[in-house]
Amino acid sequence: MKPEKEKLRVVVASGADKAFEYIANLLPVSEFMPAVRAKSAGEAKRMLADNGADILIINTPLPDDFGIMLALDMSETNMGILLMVKNDVFSQVAYKVEDNGVFTLSKPLSAHYFYSALKLVSAYNKKLRKIEEKTKSLKEKMADIRVVNRAKWLLMEKLNLSEKDAHYYIEKQAMDLRIPRREVAGNIIRTYET
């Protein structure tokens, strides 16, 4: 049996009631939490700042912004963004936003076309999150290495140890005390730098 997937949070920015209802009804309840509506770009920004979302769907035009600026502002986050525009401006809008990872759809659109685009955005969003997690993990490892290296240099300088001996000392302390090497390194740095 497959593990249950986490349902995605969706914010729909739409000034039109019917369009919001149409979009909300197209979101399968097995995959998405009930859509939350923002009636303007300003409301969408506040809502997303407070609660976040996995996917932002913008039905243009909005009362306070066509929707392009909202899409570009939100593209700095890790959420997937679908920008729905009329067919006659599709090419110009897509050209403006595609380099920022914003997906543009031309209206009117069929339920199947919308769902396919939503699945693409969802996959893109998940891939982006995995990359961010890996990046965070690598940054933490690099920070650990920097702290341990700083401690090694202090041991080499203050106790005249070779690099190999300083490395062995930190490893042995970590094993003996059952604490991470970074913690041992931090203790060494506090001891010799104060």
CA-based end-to-end distance of the chain: 57
Shared domain for 141 and 104, answered yes or no, is no
Shared domain for 18 and 76, answered yes or no, is yes
How many residues belong to the chain? 194
Confidence of residue 186 (pLDDT cuts 50, 70, 90): very high
pLDDT in tens, 33-45: 999 999 999 999 9
Shared domain for 144 and 83, answered yes or no, is no
Shared domain for 98 and 142, answered yes or no, is no
Asked if residue 166 is part of any domain, the answer here is: yes
Lowest model confidence (mean pLDDT) among 44-48, 123-127, 141-145: 123-127
Shared domain for 24 and 102, answered yes or no, is yes
Predicted model pTM: 0.74
Domain containing 32 equals 10-109
Percentage above 70 pLDDT, the chain: 98
Shared domain for 67 and 155, answered yes or no, is no
DSSP 88: G
Shared domain for 104 and 153, answered yes or no, is no
Q: What is the count of structural domains for the chain? A: 2
Peptide bond into 28 cis (omega under 30): no
CATH of the domain at 81: 3.40.50.2300
